Structure 1
Amino acid sequence: MIVLNYLHGFNSAALDTDGKVSELRTRFDVNLINYDSFASHDAIVEMIDAQRVAAPSTAFIGTSLGGYFAALMGQRLGLPAIMVNPSCDPHWALAHYRGVTLENYKLPDQPPQALTAATIESYAGTALSADPADYPIPPLLVLDSGDELLDAEATRQAYAGLGEALVFRGGSHRFEHMGDALDGIEAYINRQAPSAS
């Protein structure tokens, strides 16, 4: 069975109780990766690398900031990646939260945190490439058109060169169509599987 390394978004958590995780587990083995989204870019890459399942039939999937890191890890490791409502340029997107103290609604016992200027600057120049030639396997873009935080249509247009995207009408930034996306995700991963010789 294919293992999906699942990455949550900014100020969130990957939990067994998450509806998206439950839907993914109807088709895939899902490895939940939790990382400190207030840490620097490079520190997060190290956290993800330490927790990922390194098996031949592996892919990355993530939402929002996790979608960014899913594509980045797929690019670095030559693995399929699914980026759901992704933050393709965190240096720009995270700047909106500079100095704001935030509670994590998924982890209410965790103390509130604030995003520092240094953390935001650690993302300078790290926007995801829209050129498929920059990826051993171009990532799959999955979007809810009703994303209230990131402009889904602008993302679709900017990253159209990566290949066909899965775009669902309505929804929100939390992504509400995982069940509907399963066939497309599975087809994408199966296309990347090495052919039998």
Structure 2
Amino acid sequence: MILYLHGFRSSPLSMKARLTGERMAQLGRSAEFICPQLPASPKLAMELAFGLVAGVPAKELAIVGSSLGGYYATWMAEKLGCRAVLLNPAVVPMLDLDQHVGVTTAYHSDQPFEFKREYIGQLRALAVAQVTQPERYFLVACTGDEVLDYRDMVAHYAGAKQKVVQGSDHAISEYAGYLGEVLEFCGTTGKIQ
């Protein structure tokens, strides 16, 4: 089972989420891929995510998180003891997102997106100072990320499997080329039978 958690203001329509879901469908494993629309509230996002994987054994679950979703994936993986793949993850989103308090729109629609000041505290409550079992994590970090500093990611996930991509961008535009490796880490071969 793969739970995909998208980033801030993003959605299941993001390029990486769609590519991952499409590959799982090609593998005949659509039923093992979940990618919910996360609410703006970190507390509600985590309640939703935990509810979707309730009862799934840790050894059968992998969480793939992009940007803010990577921050969430780390907290969930620590709580559940499952594997996690982190795609240009936010390490301290409380600092980065403080400037985004207010109402805007989501990236893939015209829907209003409100990020409230109280959500900063909710993010703080999800902080993981240090991962406890680095071998359960796979970091994909791009040196050309224009939003987050890849060096913070590399340091935070020290000891984890790491793929540091020279250049690229926050969206990881060439993600399709890394998808097989991501799915393999998740316990899916990534090869079409």
Pairwise same-fold verdict (TM > 0.5): yes
Q: 2:70 aligns with which of 67, 71, 83?
A: 67
What is the percent sequence identity of the aligned residues? 26
Structure 1 residue 92, shift from structure 2 partner: 1.6
Indicate conservation of the 8 Å contact 2:64/2:73, yes or no.
yes
Distance verdict in 2 for CA 1:145–1:36, change over 3 Å: same
1:23 aligns with 2:19: yes
Q: Which residue of 1 aligns with 2:105?
A: 103
Structure 1 residue 7, shift from structure 2 partner: 0.8
1:58 aligns with 2:55: no
Structure 1 residue 53, shift from structure 2 partner: 7.0
Q: Which residue of 1 aligns with 2:117?
A: 117
2:4 is paired with a residue whose SS is: strand
| Structure 1 Cα separation of the partners of residues 146 and 156 of structure 2 | 18
Normalising by structure 1, we get a TM-score of 0.78
Structure 1 residue 117, shift from structure 2 partner: 1.6
| Structure 2 Cα separation of the partners of residues 54 and 170 of structure 1 | 39
Indicate conservation of the 8 Å contact 1:5/1:53, yes or no.
no
Indicate conservation of the 8 Å contact 1:166/1:184, yes or no.
no
2:178 is paired with a residue whose SS is: helix
Q: Which residue of 2 aligns with 1:194?
A: none
| Structure 2 Cα separation of the partners of residues 178 and 129 of structure 1 | 28
Q: Which residue of 2 aligns with 1:179?
A: 176
| Structure 2 Cα separation of the partners of residues 75 and 154 of structure 1 | 19
Indicate conservation of the 8 Å contact 2:2/2:186, yes or no.
no
**Aligned ranges for residues 88-167 of structure 1 at < 5 Å?**
88-99=91-102, 101-108=103-110, 110=111, 112-124=112-124, 126-131=126-131, 134-135=132-133, 138-161=136-159, 163-167=160-164
Runs of 4+ in 1 over 4 A off after TM superposition: none
What letter matches 1:122 in structure 2? Answer: Q
2:63 is paired with a residue whose SS is: strand
Indicate conservation of the 8 Å contact 1:5/1:58, yes or no.
yes
2:34 is paired with a residue whose SS is: strand
Per-residue deviation, residues 141-163 of structure 1 (Å, max 9, x unmatched): 111221101001232133223x2
Total equivalences in the alignment: 179
Structure 1 residue 123, shift from structure 2 partner: 2.2
**Structure 1: which 5+ runs fail to align?**
192-197
2:123 is paired with a residue whose SS is: coil
Indicate conservation of the 8 Å contact 1:147/1:172, yes or no.
yes
**Aligned ranges for residues 74-85 of structure 1 at < 5 Å?**
74-85=77-88
| Structure 1 Cα separation of the partners of residues 37 and 114 of structure 2 | 18
What letter matches 1:70 in structure 2? Answer: A
Normalising by structure 2, we get a TM-score of 0.80
1:34 aligns with 2:37: yes
What letter matches 1:51 in structure 2? Answer: L
What letter matches 1:117 in structure 2? Answer: R
| Structure 1 Cα separation of the partners of residues 152 and 130 of structure 2 | 12
| Structure 2 Cα separation of the partners of residues 71 and 33 of structure 1 | 17
| Structure 2 Cα separation of the partners of residues 187 and 122 of structure 1 | 32
